[in-house]
A and B are shown apart, each in its own frame.
Chain A
Amino acid sequence: MVENPEFKVIGFFCNWCSYAGADLAGNMRLNYPADVRILRIPCTGRMDPLFALKALLEGADGVMVSG
């Protein structure tokens, strides 16, 4: 596959609110840029700062935490 033209934004989304919200965006067919990769975490309480650091170390352009 060719080189990705997108940014690399990693989203850590709470299962109960934001992840469900992203599902709802899908149900409503709301288009948004493909630059974000959403990972499901059980609660933003689970969010360890290490996860964000790891993403940045692996080359992410940005990290988004939502919950």
Chain B
Amino acid sequence: MARVGVFICHCGSNIAGKVDVEAVARESASIPGVAYSSHNKYSCSEAGQKTIIDAIKENRLDRVVIGACSPKMHENTFRNTIRQAGLNPYMLEIANLREHVSWVTEDRDAATRKALDLVRSAVGKVAFAKPLTPGKVPVEKRALIIGGGIAGIQAALDIAGMGYEVVLVEREPSIGGRMAQLDKTFPTLDCSACILSPRMVDVAQNPNIRLLSYSEVESVGGYVGNFDVVIRKKARYVNESKCTGCLECVSKCPVRKIPNEFENGKAMRRAIYVPFAQSVPKVPVIDKNHCQYLLSPDPSTIEVKEGERKPRRRCGACKIVCGQDAIDFEQQDEFIKEKFGAIVLATGFNPFDHSKYGEYGAGRIPDVITALDFERMVNSSGPTEGKILRPSNGEKPQRVVFIQCVGSRDEAKGVPYCSRICCMFTAKQAILTREKLPDAEVFVFYMDIRAAGKGYEEFVRRAQMEYGAEYIRGRVSRVYESDGRLIVKAADTLAGLPVEMEADLVVLATGSVAREDAFELASAIGITTDSYGFISEVHPKLKPVEIPREGVFACGACLSPRDIPDTVATAGAVAAKVGILFSKDFLESDPMVAEIDPFKCAACGACVAVCPYSAITMEEFRGKKFAKVNEAMCQGCGTCTAACRPGAAQLKGQTDEQILRSVEAVLQW
């Protein structure tokens, strides 16, 4: 016969204020199987825990029910307590007398009755508990980082710095991400490339980091400590080990008019290219959708009839000039399968697509540009070599108007949230405009200024006071062309007056949105996004970089819009979390997993079909088929147990018998 000890916690007055704890403890003593019951002011306190330990020893208790707060609060605390008394930590049930009783019930008698029922139920369940032992799973101490922007770069360097191996996967031909596209950074006006490029080089040179650029993650299987990942290395048609980065091939490529994605389409690139001068790796890629060689058929496969001209020789200019014989038109996509212990998502964001704003020209008016266009324009290696010019006629603008909150804080056309960085980059761009064009006027239309950050408010004030940017609080209603200039119509909400002004260049502070394929990547990894497509963290305050799938972490703007300092900080946080995971050789797996009795198993396969985690497989031993659970993959949902007709599958700690007994016990009133 089980010897159950029942301990009712007052939780100060939190429980005792509504529940007659003494009566519950007294009545509990007569529940079958209960050998001891008592009540305590604070069970979770050191003194309270000691009382429990002493009572277990003195009364030779072999299992325990604690009537206290939610098991989500202190189940682990009390498991540890009874472990100290020599019991198996899983011989414990918590009756939730605070969240589910005292805090939600008006009537004291009703609360007391309910509390006693929950204790009965817990006693019924724990009486049939069996000791459980956690399993041990080895940890593959290698991290996969998806995304090579500043977030992924920083996380890679930090994890590699701890001595662990890192594979950094970047879908573009070069790492660098959005930060590489920026000119200067607020609030210090550091040149973005000058602070980023050294880190990119560090990634390339770090012996612990393997960089897979122009690659994408295809699938993620497995579980924490043991993820099986398939990475597709897209054919670049250039042999990375032979290429020296001389870029002779690029200069000879005859296909010149392809919009350069890195320049936001505002400059042209060739069919063989590196995205930008500081690209890492500095190995070009052949764009198979534009390369003349790859698009034209092999002449040897074409039948030439009498009198017809022989087909032209295929291009191959790059191959001819390459002194290293690095061009390889036969290259195919390569699939790499590797094991990782942890996965870090650092997939970043996209700028909002302003084509939804018809009233601002929706991308049709050439002199209405986005903030990212402006970044490239003002950058000395950008399409205009750093000169701020009107795209329509190449002239210097006399008046530049910035419009904030394009996409952000606009539920009708964009997203309801604040993108957090636009107030700051607009102030920066206003300063840069005034620095480069001292004679030009700068106006900024804003809704509110959100400059919460170290040195941010001061920076915006500098833009206004020192650089003379005119800030007008109000929403712009329309931008249209008239006589070669732009007309900006707005309302000044402080003055309460309509505003209409001419401008030469309008810059839209487009907000940050999730990458359009973030949802697909999240589904491939088996995690969730919020309604905007940003990756959901476990807890926004206390677990800001942890993802509900254990062993997966995220940093940077794939979580929510954020600036570079916050991105770098979360990248460091991720590295610390990965370090904690990798500091252990083995992980303890939750013992509350399913097990299948092979003698009862009818090999019907129902459990295999319903398991959401693909943790059950069919095995065969000496001609008998049976289902088997991979304990490391099992998440303890118990779906197999409910589906199993012969009752062969049982979820440990939640067996049919335990649940049925707890139902029986709770209904004894």
Contact = CB atoms under 8 A, between A and B. Distances in A.
B100 A26 contact: yes
Contacts of B637: 42-43, 45-46
Given A1-B113, A46-B638, A54 B666 contact: no
Contacts of B669: 4, 8
Contact of A6 (B113, B639, B664): B113
Nearest to B667: A58
A1 B101 CA distance: 18
A10 B113 contact: no
B469 to A, nearest CB: 46
A42 B654 contact: yes
Contacts of B659: 39, 41, 46, 48, 51
Contacts of A45: 610, 612, 637-639, 642
A26 B111 contact: no
B411 interface: no
Nearest to B93: A40
Interface in B110-160: 110-111, 113-114, 116-118, 121
Task: Pick the most buried of A20, A26, A27, A50: most chain B CB atoms within 10 A of its CB.
Answer: A26
A60 B637 CA distance: 25
A67 B93 CA distance: 21
Interface string A14-28: 000000101101110
A46 B654 contact: yes
27 contacts: A1-B113, A1-B116, A5-B110, A10-B663, A10-B666, A22-B99, A23-B100, A26-B99, A31-B106, A34-B114, A37-B666, A38-B100, A39-B659, A39-B662, A40-B71, A40-B96, A42-B637, A43-B639, A45-B612, A45-B642, A46-B637, A50-B656, A50-B660, A51-B660, A55-B663, A55-B667, A58-B664
What does DSSP make chain B's interface, helix, strand, loop or mixed? helix
Contact of B96 (A32, A38, A50): A38
A28 B96 CA distance: 15
B32 to A, nearest CB: 15
B121 A26 contact: no
Task: Pick the most buried of A25, A32, A42, A58: most chain B CB atoms within 10 A of its CB.
Answer: A42
Interface string B281-319: 000000000000000000000000000000000000000
Given A41-B654, A46-B641, A59-B667, A34 B107 contact: yes
Q: Classify chain B: how many residues form its interface, as a range.
A: 35 or more
Q: Classify chain A: how many residues form its interface, as a range.
A: 35 or more
Contact of B100 (A4, A22, A29, A59): A22
A40 B99 CA distance: 13
B592 interface: yes
A42 B642 contact: no
Contacts of A42: 592, 636-638, 651, 654
Interface string B59-94: 000000000001110000000000000000000000
Given A26-B98, A27-B99, A42-B637, A4 B667 contact: no
B103 interface: yes
- 7 shortest interchain CB distances as A-B pairs: A26-B99, A46-B638, A45-B639, A43-B637, A34-B110, A26-B103, A58-B667
Contact of B104 (A10, A32, A46): A32
A60 to B, nearest CB: 6
Contacts of A10: 663, 666-667
A47 B642 contact: yes
B27 interface: yes
Nearest to B656: A48
Given A25-B104, A42-B638, 17 more contacts: A1-B23, A6-B113, A8-B667, A10-B666, A22-B99, A23-B99, A30-B104, A38-B100, A39-B121, A39-B663, A42-B636, A42-B637, A46-B641, A46-B654, A50-B656, A50-B660, A51-B663
Contacts of B663: 10, 39, 51, 54-55, 58
A8 B666 CA distance: 9
A21 to B, nearest CB: 10
A11 B418 CA distance: 40
Contact of B638 (A6, A31, A41, A55): A41
